[in-house]
Amino acid sequence: MRRLLVLGAGTAGTMVVNKLHRRLSRTEWRITVVETAERHFYQPGYLFLPFGMYTPDQVVRPVRSLIADGVELVRGEVARVATAEHQVWLTDGRSLLYDYLIVATGVTPRPDQTPGLLDGGEWRRRIFDFYTYDGALALARALRAFDGGRLVVHITDMPIKCPVAPLEFILLADDFLRRRGLRDRVELVYATPLPGAFTKPIAAARLGTMLGERGIAVESDFLVERVDGTSLVSYDEREIPFDLLVTVPLNMGAQYVARSGLGDELNLVPVDRRTLLAKTDDAVFALGDANDIPASKAGSVAHFAVEVFVDNFVQYAAGRPMTGSFDGHANCFVESGGGKAMLIDFNYETEPLPGSYPLPGLGPFRLLRETGANHWGKLAFRWMYWNVLLPGRPVPLPAHMSMAGKHRPTIEE
């Protein structure tokens, strides 16, 4: 019996075990997934919780209910991976052997890595995050009580999960405050370590305009060094005072990755960006947010990558060359408030371009344009996530990015 061991039952881990359960012989393979948590969270929903657009029960399901019958679920926390022995040790002393290992434990916000952020006395009082379930719920309470002042949305460093989510948050905050009649009493500031609100030129021009039109100030190239009370302080000693801070802490991979010698300085597993095979071990792959590929850490990337990976793994395990090549495909709806959203679709080589998706000319979604259809597409994705993507059912969309329906804008555009 050959053993496939998957660490993590998040988005990528759940999709891959459910897909491979259908593809691998059940008499020849034993598939096991290790997960600490009992609940699986729909993380894109965290963005909506602070504004009351989703209820808490809409973003939570039991982990076991999402894993196919026949896949073994082991509750436990990984202590380390002994790659030479093909063995994983859990913190309670149990060990699991594998023939192939998939690291899919994602990344976690680490507010402890910024001095004064977690230990300065303002955490969950004036400083909040929305990249965790508890943080999003606490922020919802804070926003309901907020009646004026300076609201700062801040990114500590890249990479982060869903890099457009902070932009979405500040656009939704603008809309939320306008609907409550408070917008003229609030200064909105977007603080980013990047040179601008977005780094890809064509999309940056549109997104930058959206912020300017709404009176949102952008503080670019802001690399936070510490938090002093109610001020962010950068390494070049710039200060951004705040009354309410919504921060995206440093995102890091799991600690066991470092203890096992599998990761880089952020505990991300270096992999071949086309096949997702670890660069240091030919029996280890890393999927989803857990790897270091130069693509967005987003659910769409996990989905498209898993589509390519499953065929590759079947070939690889049979001793054949992997013929699939992941292109970094990502697409993300960008909520902009007022019942509208944008859509961006891109990959390693091609930046987000205007056009229509997925059908040329027909859409129904529009790229780099705010539309109501895009907004409803984002809301509908939650159903797709629970009922199609996680169970590993076929999705009628190509895993690789297509140029069909896209065009490069002229200077006049």
Taking 80 as the threshold, does the pLDDT of residue 53 lie above it? Answer: yes
Q: Are 196 and 209 in contact (CB under 8 A)?
A: no
Quick one: which of 124, 65, 102, 155 has its CA closest to 387?
65
Residue 78: the pLDDT is 98
Taking 70 as the threshold, does the pLDDT of residue 192 lie above it? Answer: yes
Quick one: which of 256, 251, 307, 252 has its CA closest to 101?
256
Q: Please tell me the CATH code under which domain 110-250 is placed.
A: 3.50.50.60
3-state secondary structure of 8: coil
Domain ranges of the chain: 2-109+252-317, 110-250, 330-389
Q: Please tell me the CATH code under which domain 2-109+252-317 is placed.
A: 3.50.50.60
Residue 408: the pLDDT is 87
Angle at 127 between CA 106 and CA 231, to 5 degrees: 115
Cis peptide before 62 (omega within 30 of 0): no
Q: Do domains 2-109+252-317 and 110-250 have the same CATH topology?
A: yes
Block residue for tokens 């539309």: 371
Under the banding of pLDDT at 50, 70 and 90, the label for residue 98 is very high
Taking 70 as the threshold, does the pLDDT of residue 413 lie above it? Answer: no
CA–CA separation, 11 and 31 (whole Å): 17
Q: Which residues, 6+ apart, have CB-to-CB distance to 55 below 8 Å?
A: none
Q: What is the pLDDT of residues 347-394, one digit of tens each?
A: 999 999 999 999 998 899 999 999 999 999 999 999 999 999 999 999
Q: What is the pLDDT of residues 203-255, one digit of tens each?
A: 888 877 889 999 999 999 999 999 999 999 999 999 999 999 999 999 999 99
DSSP 8-state class, residue 249: P
CA–CA separation, 220 and 263 (whole Å): 29
Block residue for tokens 């939320």: 176
Kindly report the average pLDDT of the chain as a whole number. 96
Under the banding of pLDDT at 50, 70 and 90, the label for residue 410 is low
CA–CA separation, 335 and 53 (whole Å): 12
Residue 201: the pLDDT is 87
The two structure tokens encoding residue 233? 């302080």
Question: Percent of the chain beyond pLDDT 90?
Answer: 93
Taking 50 as the threshold, does the pLDDT of residue 146 lie above it? Answer: yes
Quick one: which of 206, 139, 250 has its CA closest to 341?
206
What's this model's pTM, rounded to 2 decimal places? Answer: 0.95
Average pLDDT of span 132-138? 97
Cα–Cα distances in angstroms (integers) from residue 139 to residues 127, 146, 177, 315, in the given order = 9, 10, 14, 46
Helix axes 201-213, 165-179, angle to 10 degrees: 20
